[in-house]
Amino acid sequence: YKVRRPVRVTLEVFDLFGRKIATLVDHKLSSPGRYVEYFDISRYDLEPGLYYYSLVDNERSVRRKMIVE
Protein backbone atom coordinates (compact mmCIF):
# COMPACT_ATOMS: atom_id res chain seq x y z
CA TYR A 1 0.00 0.00 0.00
CA LYS A 2 1.01 3.60 -0.43
CA VAL A 3 0.46 6.55 1.89
CA ARG A 4 0.93 10.20 0.99
CA ARG A 5 1.17 11.63 4.50
CA PRO A 6 1.45 10.24 8.03
CA VAL A 7 -1.65 8.17 8.83
CA ARG A 8 -2.66 5.26 11.05
CA VAL A 9 -3.19 2.14 8.94
CA THR A 10 -5.04 -1.11 9.60
CA LEU A 11 -4.79 -4.03 7.19
CA GLU A 12 -6.96 -7.10 7.83
CA VAL A 13 -7.77 -10.30 5.94
CA PHE A 14 -11.24 -11.91 5.87
CA ASP A 15 -12.68 -15.15 4.53
CA LEU A 16 -15.67 -15.34 2.17
CA PHE A 17 -18.07 -15.31 5.13
CA GLY A 18 -16.65 -12.06 6.50
CA ARG A 19 -14.79 -13.68 9.42
CA LYS A 20 -11.53 -11.95 10.25
CA ILE A 21 -8.60 -14.28 9.56
CA ALA A 22 -5.64 -12.03 10.30
CA THR A 23 -4.59 -8.51 11.19
CA LEU A 24 -1.41 -7.75 9.27
CA VAL A 25 -1.11 -4.10 10.35
CA ASP A 26 -2.88 -2.80 13.47
CA HIS A 27 -3.29 0.99 13.67
CA LYS A 28 0.36 1.47 12.73
CA LEU A 29 1.46 5.05 12.23
CA SER A 30 2.88 4.99 8.69
CA SER A 31 5.06 7.70 7.22
CA PRO A 32 4.67 8.68 3.56
CA GLY A 33 5.88 5.95 1.22
CA ARG A 34 5.18 2.47 -0.17
CA TYR A 35 4.71 -0.58 2.03
CA VAL A 36 4.50 -4.30 1.30
CA GLU A 37 2.94 -6.81 3.68
CA TYR A 38 3.14 -10.56 3.16
CA PHE A 39 0.30 -12.93 3.99
CA ASP A 40 1.50 -16.51 4.56
CA ILE A 41 -1.56 -18.79 4.62
CA SER A 42 0.41 -21.64 6.20
CA ARG A 43 0.82 -19.51 9.33
CA TYR A 44 -2.98 -19.42 9.69
CA ASP A 45 -3.67 -23.02 8.60
CA LEU A 46 -5.70 -21.87 5.59
CA GLU A 47 -6.41 -23.38 2.21
CA PRO A 48 -5.60 -21.58 -1.05
CA GLY A 49 -8.59 -19.67 -2.36
CA LEU A 50 -10.43 -16.38 -2.42
CA TYR A 51 -10.10 -13.97 0.49
CA TYR A 52 -10.75 -10.29 1.09
CA TYR A 53 -8.48 -7.66 2.54
CA SER A 54 -9.51 -4.41 4.16
CA LEU A 55 -7.18 -1.40 4.25
CA VAL A 56 -8.30 1.45 6.48
CA ASP A 57 -6.56 4.72 7.24
CA ASN A 58 -7.59 8.19 8.40
CA GLU A 59 -8.82 9.14 4.93
CA ARG A 60 -10.23 6.02 3.26
CA SER A 61 -11.42 2.47 3.56
CA VAL A 62 -10.76 -0.06 0.79
CA ARG A 63 -11.96 -3.66 0.59
CA ARG A 64 -10.75 -5.88 -2.25
CA LYS A 65 -10.65 -9.54 -3.26
CA MET A 66 -7.42 -11.49 -3.42
CA ILE A 67 -6.61 -14.99 -4.61
CA VAL A 68 -4.20 -16.85 -2.36
CA GLU A 69 -2.25 -19.77 -3.82
Q: Which residue type is seen at 15?
A: D
pLDDT tens profile 6-65: 999 999 999 999 999 999 999 989 999 999 998 888 888 888 999 999 999 988 999 999
Q: What is the pLDDT of residue 62?
A: 95
The answer to whether 52 and 65 have CB atoms below 8 angstroms apart is yes
Q: What is the pLDDT of residue 19?
A: 96
pLDDT tens profile 25-41: 999 899 999 999 988 88
Half-sphere exposure of 34 (CA within 13 A, CB side): 1
